[in-house]
């Protein structure tokens, strides 16, 4: 994804959780199956294109029905809870657990001596490297550097989307399931039965606990 794409996702995430952010024109959110299908389709689009904007669109699909679900509408609340859990379990496979924000990529790689002029991008023309073995090593190192920079950019966006989703999930629980609501037990049952790893399950439970204090 290029810089303009990164800025698009960043600007979208800067929007308030309660803001009405328009969904793409091809989005259809009708009932349980519609929402779950949109989540699945958007994440599949990310896997095919590598564009995190598709994952953000999946988040907005869930946020859109969450905004409309009334506290007194039990069926709507259950549908939204299921949709949040479907989204969060859906993005888990594309989040790299080994990624760390501090491991910022270094631009380019050091070329061999006497490799000719260095471009504004900090690279040299591989054709100027006379030694074929050195040239191959430089090309491989340059590709690895660019690939890592791309993965880093993608993961930082995905992790920010994940953080936004968890924040919105907690906020939604706090506003739609007051701490005195006996239906809160249904949230724990949903979390216990959803297909996420224990790390995610623990984070979900923590979000619910934090919502008790609001």
Mean pLDDT (10-residue bins), the chain, 214 residues:
50 46 43 78 94 94 85 82 91 91 85 87 90 94 92 94 92 82 81 86 86 68
pLDDT of res. 101? 87
Structure tokens at 116: 């000719």
The upper half-sphere exposure of residue 192, i.e. CA atoms within 13 Å in the direction of its Cβ, equals 5
Question: Phi-psi region for residue 100, left (φ > 0), alpha (ψ -120 to 50) or beta?
Answer: beta
Compute the distance between CA of residue 199 and CA of residue 87 in angstroms, rounded to an integer: 16
Compute the distance between CA of residue 172 and CA of residue 174 in angstroms, rounded to an integer: 5
């Amino acid at each position: 994804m290029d810089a303009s794409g990164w800025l698009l996702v960043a600007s979208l995430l800067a929007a308030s959780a309660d803001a009405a952010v328009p969904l793409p024109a091809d989005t259809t959110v009708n009932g349980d199956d519609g929402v779950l299908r949109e989540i699945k389709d958007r994440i599949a689009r990310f896997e095919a294109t590598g564009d995190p904007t598709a994952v953000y669109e999946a988040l907005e699909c869930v946020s859109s029905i969450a905004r409309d679900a009334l506290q007194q509408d039990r069926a709507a609340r259950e549908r939204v809870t299921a949709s949040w859990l479907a989204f969060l379990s859906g993005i888990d496979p594309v989040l790299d657990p080994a990624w760390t924000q501090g491991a910022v990529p270094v631009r380019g790689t050091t070329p061999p001596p006497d490799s000719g002029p260095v471009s504004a991008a900090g690279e040299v023309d591989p054709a100027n490297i006379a030694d074929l073995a050195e040239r191959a090593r430089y090309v491989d190192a340059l590709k690895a550097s660019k690939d890592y920079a791309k993965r880093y950019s993608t993961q930082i966006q995905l992790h920010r989307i994940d953080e936004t989703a968890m924040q919105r999930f907690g906020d939604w629980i706090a506003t739609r399931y007051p701490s005195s609501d006996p239906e809160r037990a249904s949230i724990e049952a949903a979390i216990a039965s959803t297909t996420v790893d224990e790390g995610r399950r623990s984070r979900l439970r923590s979000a619910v606990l934090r919502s008790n204090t609001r």
